[in-house]
Structure 1
């Protein structure tokens, strides 16, 4: 595509998605940012642009269906393999934008989507940076989700989220919490997919992550077929790019420079 900056709604396989795409560095990779289960473009703040600028990469950030400025989800009910479905949408988005040197940066749910995409569509993916990703369900994750459910009814969490998601908040919150706490989701596991990943991978995690243990990191690192490394940050929770932005930025920059 010709160099440009686009912020627009686009249709991907019937899904109306809002994207921000800056394609100003010909023949350079594109950093693709995948938000978490309550996230959106806005909630990344300036982190994507900072990493793109310091690495001289193009950058794509988008709101998944039901989030931010994208169209609403038709229902909060999700299948167990909804993250695999999101990876399919991402692959179609990359094809639509003619991106074939993607460096995926995914946080939480977005990290899991990044891993699945690298496994299922390796021809488009140059590398993966996953931050606080999950490859299986842990009790600590479910505990964190149940606490979020309590906060949603007893604090102003819903109001704060509404600022970013509008009237889609209830649906997206249920889509996350009710899916992950369902009995049939307890056995969700993508370890077989992870073992097929051959591109370089960096796993960033806060050592005090309230939604996942370091088992997520060590198992992912041990399973992938390609080069892999971890970056653990002491006293940091589930969102290193917000809680320790400079450390996270530097770790990602150093990793990208080795590619």
Structure 2
């Protein structure tokens, strides 16, 4: 399994590193959207069960991973701009499906609210529409260490909170990764944290009602930061949504242990399967006939 890599020009403003896992028998293409401080490497466990059932596209945002060397970093990038980048990549790779993780859900939902013509379904992992007490505390503490560029404390905070259910090997990898980032990456994340705190989650639900495709929300049973109960509040805003809780798993779902990997895989593949697609297509046809009549 080897990816085709490229650095793409996006709207003449950004250069974005991409990985494209192309499967000969796959009929659909899925694009994966990273969470904060993450790169394409974060989806290694996820690619294992999506490929070769699907063509899989990964990318690093302009300030992260293998994209950062190709861009200037004079100002933070907003979630709206991240949504612009995602929509451009969806068109370029002719994507049918989207899967986001954690804070990648904000830009993903913003992009979906613009109703991209190609996308048929999306999976939103480890995300909720509210800032609960645990998340509020995590973000406020995170903003302090990000603003001060306290590298070791940033890594420790990540592993002590949302990453506390990860195996020790993954915790060491996380700490090494986040403790060696550039100052502008910390400023970028601090900018996003401030935006989330100021909006108190309202930026997610304000446009959720415009999303007209089926969404699956997947959350870990033990995730107190983006809890399964909080995620279910999306049912008040999204027209076609379903929910899945991964048992004995925290925020990082398929990275935490084999049983969580299997549960996450089974939930995603069941939702994305061709038979499920046919049901949705039939439902939409009936809707169209009803409106026409």
TM-score, length basis structure 1: 0.82
Q: Closer, same or farther in 2 for the Cα pair 1:156/1:194, shift >3 Å? A: closer
Aligned partner of 1:59 in structure 2 is 56
1:232 is aligned, of 245, 253, 278, to 245
Q: Which 5+ residue runs of structure 2 have no aligned equivalent?
A: 157-171, 278-293
Alpha-carbon RMSD: 3.0
Aligned partner of 2:4 in structure 1 is 6
Contact 2:29–2:97 (CA under 8 A) maintained in structure 1: yes
Question: Secondary structure at the residue paired with 1:208?
Answer: coil
Distance 2:245 2:81 in 1: 29
Distance 2:215 2:230 in 1: 14
Aligned partner of 2:222 in structure 1 is 208
Cα deviation 1:127-173 (Å, max 9, x = unaligned) = 01000124344442221234445595554829956865896433223
Aligned partner of 2:235 in structure 1 is 221
Q: Closer, same or farther in 2 for the Cα pair 1:169/1:216, shift >3 Å? A: farther
**1:36-115 → structure 2 map (5 Å cutoff):** 36-53=35-52, 56-71=53-68, 72=71, 74-75=73-74, 77=76, 82-97=78-93, 99=94, 101-115=95-109
Distance 1:76 1:168 in 2: 16
Distance 1:173 1:219 in 2: 30
Distance 1:184 1:144 in 2: 15
Greater helix share, structure number: 2
Greater strand share, structure number: 1
Greater Rg by CA? 2
How many residues are aligned here?
248
Contact 2:128–2:227 (CA under 8 A) maintained in structure 1: no
Cα deviation, residue 40, structure 1: 0.7
Contact 1:108–1:131 (CA under 8 A) maintained in structure 2: yes
Q: Which 5+ residue runs of structure 1 have no aligned equivalent?
A: none
Distance 1:131 1:178 in 2: 22
